[in-house]
Structure 1
């Protein structure tokens, strides 16, 4: 009896292991949503949406209801994407006519006639490019949204998909506070479980989107201009559709319940300075306080160390005056590279010109001030030594700063395209092959 029990337990364990190793069933179709949102300088959002609806039921679906959040919604156009379907044969079987004959290597035994080829397995193939149909709809204005009831041009058969392309605008997804726009985009609500949502956000080329690093080429209204014209004429291009869901600022979500929506929030402004004003002002204030404390400490230290040491005074004077000169021109370099992003192109030249004038004046003070001081207090030779000290320290510190900048700004290695289209990007450990 014990052996039987042990045998049954082993069989149960083996069965669990086998079932655990079996793959999960693959979901052939699923409901998905894709959005590309572009904001302008007035806070208005242009939205291109691609809604994929999968019919999990047994009955066909001839209409779809979509609830678009917002009170100021302008639905410019909506089309249904549809592929014509044709059946093709995937397997032909050779058979003979009559039950008394068998097909043997293409010949009907006993009859010596050729076997007939009959299709026994078929598959469906989509005809490219797809077709687009303008949809008719009814709308109902709710308290904080608009409900649209679309009549489909092609019904959604059981276990099949339908794709809707929407183009609309809204002023409800951004609020301006001072020079900053805070946006909160909300996706469409549908009465179906949504497996995946992708939202890409961009701004006009004259604006700056927060939390986006690097040099970004933002989308502009030309994308939506062509999109609108194509939609109104029902001559959509797959390129327009394929770009929906991408943007400089990208967010995604999974497994939304029916009538649930997905929020994407962020900020944008006309300049980088507007987005980081508080951080910049706080940094300047903290830097000035720190600089003041350093200067006070250095003055105290210099007085203590050089009270009766003229050579030490000349050396320290040359060091600090050259250090200040280097810092001034490092600041000018940083401003030259970033001033456009901080304040925009309107005032860049004027502000940068003022900084150049101030930098030149401060450089003259750093170079000539110590010379005049030592010349007037001691003699001309001492003034010349002050100039020598300044030049020597300037060369030493300048070389050091140039070396540091050379390390920080080391250019990335470029890996060439080899024959066959194979390249290796060792920096990102990416290997790609073009067939």
Structure 2
């Protein structure tokens, strides 16, 4: 993936540039990101899928890697976006979906998954074998984590040799918590020590070289660390640059590599810019975007209640809550409140477990009805101003229309603007 290699080279040569990694499978988020890229003239849009979300067994989206590529490219064709400007990544690729199996079986499936990702056209591959499988010691020793990552790198390289096209780039390391997010409130957060970060990189380098994967190692562009950013249900730990000075400086001793920061959702504009400046140049965001989409949908629901006669209302919010209570599988481990407190978590938790429910047929039917109602009877801009001020600004400046889908995407784009500022506006070259 030469465009990403070039960006990392620019960053390591002294330019405060980065890239936003959009971790969402929601079609409206993907479309919003493509429109945003068109508006801002970006050369590259990076979408990533996780191992739990997309794999050879379908993941929780029901999509294989090839399905996800077709899904994203289909949206791009519909909106007139050049697919050659889209990069696709696989996040936390490893045995995580199959940790109930013995390690040998889980790693066999992880190899198949990584090969399927590369064969489908994914070219940014995060190798994460940090999770213990059935029968493993806990925590898993780093030497074992590294050897498993090398095994998956070998599978990825073989798949690329067979598929052709651009060579994949790799990301190593992991952060805390593991994929899926924290299940409890955050009480404290330790920044990765420079010693630990450099030891992880060196252990992988040695293992890659010993496995005859020197060429692949030259395409390892980043290592995942914890710079001190995280969120739980109702709070955010903001990036504090003074606490990450030593970690930030440590990566400058490693040629052609940067850090990748996960869980950057809900960070402030200045914090995101500081992360990129401090060499956390790949910013992962996912729940923060679907949270913004939920905000927009709730706002449109409120507009409908003000504007559309009751008999015609879709009542999307009511339908969603009904389905959340009827099917608690995606949130039961995360939310422990009762009654009103539970309903607050279900709707407004920053963890945004509600994102797993948007494909539900009844919810989608209600969303379509809501959009249809507001298309048949467009609301006055004063109501848009009341409930969707970011979208109103986009409407007034010509980057959105009064169509409800356009308004929702404009609200999501306001979040993407913060990331674009962090990754692009600091480049003064």
When the two structures are superposed, what TM-score results if normalisation uses the length of structure 1? 0.20
Say which one has the larger Rg.
1
User: Which is strand-richer, 1 or 2?
Assistant: 1
User: Which is helix-richer, 1 or 2?
Assistant: 2
